[in-house]
Amino acid sequence: MTAKDITICMVDGVRSKSVIIGVFDTGIAPQHTSFNDNEMLSPPVKWKGRCEFNVTTYCNKKLIGSRNFTQQDKSPWDKIGHGTHTSSTAAENFVGGANFLADVVAGLDAAIDDGVDVISMSFGLVVSPPLYDDYVAAGAYSAMKKGIFVSCSAGNVGLGNGSVINGAPWILTIGASTTDRKISAVPVLDNRAEFEGESAFQPTNFSRKLLPIVKGNACESLNTSDVKSKIVFCDTSG
């Protein structure tokens, strides 16, 4: 609540019992379908508030009142969207035909109903959202439960942390590479311990000389003369 101090009063509950909720926020968009008053009872008799929209029909048996207490704008209309969001979370009414994550999921549902065996999706967001907000992951999960094989692209960005998209465990995630083979590397420490791994670069004239390891708390604080010709482990602070 950064721009306005507005009270939005709504009734939560249908048919038998009602609770009045007062929300202090940036206002409300009264014509939003979440605030319809289908099957709502009249406001409880204790209600003494009022509706300060210039159109009285904006308030109903769901949105029973809205007032503005700021000096800037006398209307309780939400010009930012935050108040509408929080109000609908607190006490929205049922909305017919509402859907989750829209077009992509609708297409996946249709593909499942049509009886496909494989789904290929070569698109995605730049950064993968959490799974509960990932429309590709949600739709692919429904397909996977029906025994449908789902293949998705890994994105066009790399090699950075979190640069792979569509990485849900029930998806076969496909990414292109500039090399068609695994380049193995086996670092050998001074105590002769060996660790198997991979490398993006393996020159033919690579020196077999063992180098000392330096551990620093922060890379920025290390003097270059102290780390020359050494392997450095340091904290990059995130």
Question: Per-10-residue mean pLDDT for the chain, 238 residues long?
Answer: 50 65 90 90 87 86 89 82 88 79 84 92 82 88 93 81 86 79 77 81 75 75 75 71
Q: Cβ(170)–Cβ(139) under 8 Å?
A: no
pTM, 2 dp:
0.46
Amino acid letter, residue 127: V
Amino acid 4: pLDDT: 44
Amino acid 98: pLDDT: 73
- 55 vs 51: CA distance, rounded Å: 9
Amino acid 112: pLDDT: 92
| Cα end-to-end distance, the chain, whole Å | 31
Q: How far is CA 80 from CA 5, 51, 140, 152, in A?
A: 13, 20, 34, 36
Amino acid 3: pLDDT: 40
Q: How many CB atoms lie within 10 A of CB 119?
A: 19
